[in-house]
Amino acid sequence: MQLFKTYWKDDGLMGKARDELPWPAFNDDMKTQVRNDFRDTMEWIARIIMGSEKRFRALHRDGDMPFDPEAESNHLQCHQAEHLINLAKILAERTDDPKTGVGAVIINDKREIVGLGWNGFPTKALYGEFPRASDKDVAVRDKKYPYVIHAEQNALIMRNISDIAGGTLFVTKTPCDECTPLIQMVGIKTVVLGVKLQKERKESIAYSKFEEKVNTERAFVCFEMESAESEMEDASASGIQPAAEKEKASHSGQDKAVAKKAKSERRPSSDSGL
């Protein structure tokens, strides 16, 4: 936020926007919107450059684990997990699914990247060849789900070696019931999630098999990622307002007060003759 304060000054960027462009429409309401957009952009850049602190929590532990980003003594694997989850998030941006992007990265037992994938339609598919409606499009019968190849499936199909037994999957969302058997079949034993484990069915996709394989059958060792973002979500769910949101609300309130005062000052008095 220090960087934001450095550039957000009336005699700095904002003064130039109003006086030098010139920008007649730059009123107090627009200034509030620009302030919010500018702050969000600075925060996004900071997250990319510096990263946010991430921690990984194992849902259960079974003896010696070949990849263990939770161990306090193993900072290298924690950094590797963070890097590969970030790579999976970048891959998710390549999706042509109009609603949800998912990314996946596979490493072998030597910790070499051997597979990358994201969810989307088949290779060389042209836009509009397949339906893109989701369950929220209630009037549309033909949905996208039967045609979308999932990120985990693409990573498995496009991997550059055949033997990935003992490997690790990094994925931005919980594997669904369709992908879970495929992951188990190729011998992947460790799964690192970029979110908390999802159990409930969502729209047309179920997730119960992966949770069962992790907690009941112990077929996978699963790590959940915990970060500043998840803490903000937990605080929001519990009704606690995070510090950043408090500051945002404070600025918004101040801007509204300034705008109201400026509006009243511009209003002609009753004895002005107008």
Catalytic member of 70, 82, 152, 211? 152
Report the side by side order of strands in the sheet with 190-193. 54-58, 221-227, 190-193, 168-171, 103-107, 113-118
* Positive/negative CA dihedral, 52, 84, 232, 257: positive
DSSP per-residue letters across 59-116: S---SS-S--TT-TT-HHHHHHHHHHHHHHHHHHTT---SS---EEEEE-TT--EEEE
> CA-CA distance, 13 to 63, in Å (whole number)?
57
> CA-CA distance, 58 to 221, in Å (whole number)?
7
> CA-CA distance, 24 to 272, in Å (whole number)?
25
Instruction: Single out the residue of 224, 174, 234 nearest to residue 198, CA to CA.
Output: 174
DSSP E strands, the chain: 54-58, 103-107, 113-118, 168-171, 190-193, 221-227
Q: Tokens at residue 164, please?
A: 């990935």
Which residue do the tokens 């290779």 mark? 123
* Positive/negative CA dihedral, 225, 230, 231, 237: negative
- Catalytic residue flag (residue 152): yes
Residues marked as catalytic: 152
